[in-house]
Chains A and B, each alone.
Chain A
């Protein structure tokens, strides 16, 4: 049986820095996989390589048996993979609802021809999509903030909106870059509950996560990355129990 997402022998070099070195792993459908490792381990580089933002020097990425090599970011989204960014990259001058709408695919009137020559059809479908966007927002608990400008949302709300925005793309595999960083208390619990809920709805999640408590609570599998190389692959308990990995993980920081 082919793996849901298969990453094989990725290598990427930036000048003198080997960002990824023979990096291989697979991800199983319907599971939450956490990608951990110290800063600069290459976690975001892997995201960039999978989603087409970065061409690896060598290596392959395949999704549900289809090769993603050489695909552009927008083609990758069409295949059903969407990502968030560590620094959010929300559209700050748009409302929450408009951000979600921007994530939705196959809009009528997303090019000038239909917008100008089929205005009524455009307006009708847009009205429907606006309602659908409200549903997506409700899914992450932001339905009351739909028409608020993003710049006026709290940080926690912005984090939730990032997830809502990629949910709107309809992707099945969600790549979340540090969805809980900078959150605490209720906001943190809320995001963790959301991730669980998404899993129960059939989504597969690959999450870059620093917080070991979060990893323990949500991860089914853990990938441990160091210097661009996959050091270990296992359950959260196994990874955390390994003293060598703990040394690498906390060694630099302490």
Chain B
């Protein structure tokens, strides 16, 4: 009997989830991100970017009078939790669009997005597999392949570097980065002389750096999502002779402010915050308006533009309609110009060099 009562309690609690009242004029969106655990270092930044964008719109009265609310769910970067939470948002809240990050959880939710016709919006993960995972998975950031082709070509042709070593994070993002760079650099005519992974979250790069330095590459290509300031310190420590090149993850204010990052070059998926925005963001959250918050701010802007269009056209806000609206609008002018010819956005890519604690653009590659 007691067992039955306990079961009944849980059933009731779960049921209560279903009957949460929703304000009539509020449009609800979802986000399934790693908000706790080791992956939270990126997930919480993404969360702040979305929240900031939504707060901004709501402060101006919302979209055509409709307030936007984002329900954040914590998947701890686990695929099973992601699937459960996806179903929770879609089933109980009838959410038309869900923000996601990290390739594993995004890939786990992709088949559901297809079946449920729910828009999945990825603003941070760049693994190539995300490009064609589902017609409903929209990437507001280019996959790594395009960006790294730019970098590899620049390094070989413009900077004249013939040999390279790769330091990559041992997760989907890092492995995709390694593969893409390796392909592009060798295609350009260069040679990869060494490659070493580091575990995600581990900021002790020294053993890997020492080994890579021993291969005497002309340039070291780095693809790690966080801990770049520590990397700069450790590269300086071994008195490295090689050039250091990175992808857009190097657009980290803390790295740029680090004197040891002097001379690092990197590609940047162009994203610029207007004057005062970065300061306002920092005032609000106490953290920098970094690469990931900016990207998710942009992703949120894209989704909200689609909502605006649907409201104007008097269409219901469903995943299917949002997707149609996205391709109708096609070009979004948010923090950067984002063009959707396919599910994956094309944006302007810059080649930057970090000099005197500032990020200077040395070359511009417009969106294709």
A and B touch in the complex (CB under 8 A): no
